Amino acid sequence: MLTWTPGAVTLDALATLYWTETPARLDPACRPAVERAAAAVAAAASGAEAVYGVNTGFGKLASVRIPPDRTAQLQRNLIRSHCCGVGPAIPRRVARLMMALKLLSLGRGASGVRWEIVALIEGMLAQGVTPAIPAQGSVGASGDLAPLSHMAAVMIGEGEAEVGGRVLPGAEALAEAGLAPVTLGAKEGLALINGTQFSTAFALAGLFEGWRCAAAALATGALSTDAIMGSDAPLQPEIHALRGHRGQIEAAATMRALLAGSAIRESHREGDARVQDPYCIRCQPQVTGAAMDLLRQAAATLETEANAATDNPLVLTEAGLIVSGGNFHAEPVAFAADMLALALAEIGAIAQRRVALMVDPTLSFDLPPFLTPDPGLCSGYMIAEVTSAALMSENKHLANPCSTDSTPTSANQEDHVSMAAHGARRLMPMAENLAAILGVELLCAAQGVEHRAPLATSAPLARILARLRAEVPTLTDDRALAPDMARAADLVRTGAVVEAAGADLFPRLA
């Protein structure tokens, strides 16, 4: 069980929940602040003054006053009417991360919900009750209304949820886990659905998956460098210190460590007629390192957002105010998602060029055409390279910005929106594409390094080669490569490539 302090949760803690699905709960020390805000909302609900979302309608209907005896119906209607998502259910680990982010937001003590609401989300995480949340329907302002409504629906005993591997009606899912639905009080429905947690969860998922790929790209890139008998001179630390970018410096240091001790490298240090390697070999630190910097910039934004109170209105207990603002607008998340997309696309673009280099006998420094021992009769990795090119191009298209798009909604009341939701949702498919590209590179580079026998690669790269060969044999005669490619991509995606080389050799996200 993870115990989180609202406002102070780190990327490492968020990543732990994402990768392991460990339940999270709030530090009980935040309870008094949560309850003070709930008391302020209760007082406003019975008062004479109109307070948005407490005793009024929503959005364009904010001018409609709701009497105190209809508060519960107002909140229930809000959840029901906003359950308008379409498309497949989102992955379980993303849904659980979204729920945990909502916990953090409520825990800031500015939402006005009772502790009972917090306790139910904690219970659902602990007992494995995961709402079935359609992937599409949010424009990223006024919060992720539709997807969060599908989460809230389960909390009131409606909607659907997965528990124990089965998808059940919400009330049955809660009962199966020994939990009971809640009756929402004033503002509680609004607090649950008004926020950026859906977009932020998907952006964080893209970040965590993408960072694994970025680290693996340093390993596959180093293996490719040895396969084509490339130079390690461009990795000289002074070069990168003179530019000063952290990612570039760290990428070069990792690649130096990965290549250290390679007999392949030492064999052509003297007498090599080539003066320079192509950019896809020579400029790896400048490109992959820059992408790592971009991932970290996005990570800083997302860590802040994960700890933020993003519903509306917010209860400012110290000032004695309940104020309608705009923290639900997910523009920071949209910008971060666009940055992540650019980084993923570029890591894949330069990796694909390394694949193309290795299969081309005019550029690969005496590797056989398409890395097959019997070219002509066999096609080797010819079409695997084509597939990597297709995935690279797909990611380029997906990397086009989403944050520059907007459309007015809700009768022009919500007249500028962030599009953070689908900007973030595209990141997981992009990371899958990138893992597949790097998997193809891993296969080709391993084949190329083995062709250099009896010369041996470095010890860290030899460990990567051995890990691959435990799953995929050397290519001799042609065979269907799709299963090999899937296994290689899985080694990238799960972090097995980095672990085989030695995780201590690689930069950390945070």
Q: Catalytic residue positions? A: 52
Measured CA to CA, the distance from residue 450 to residue 80 in angstroms comes to 61
Closest CA to 42 of 145, 121, 123, 116: 116
> What gap in Å lies between CA 327 and CA 344, rounded to an integer?
28
Residue 27 is which amino acid?
D
Closest CA to 142 of 475, 387, 415: 415
Residue found by looking up tokens 């308008």 in the block: 84
Contact of 496 with 472, CB cutoff 8 Å = no
Quick one: three-class SS letters along 237-249? HHHHHHHCCHHHH
Q: Provide the token pair at 150.
A: 């599908």
Q: Give the list of residues 6+ apart from residue 333 with CB closer than 8 angstroms, or none.
A: 140, 196, 199, 200, 203, 301, 302, 305, 418, 420, 423, 424
Neighbours of 429 (CB within 10 A): 14
Distance of CA 305 to the CA centre of its chain: 14
Q: Count of alpha carbons within 13 Å of 159, Cβ hemisphere only?
A: 31
Counting other chains too, the contacts that 269-278 makes at CB distance below 8 Å and 24 or more residues apart are 272/229, 272/231, 274/231, 274/365, 276/231, 277/225, 277/228, 277/230, 277/231, 277/234, 278/353, 278/357, 278/363
Q: What residues contact residue 7 under an 8 Å CB cut-off, 6+ apart? A: 104, 107, 108, 307
Cα 299 to Cα 170, 362, 369, 393: the distances in Å are 34, 41, 41, 25
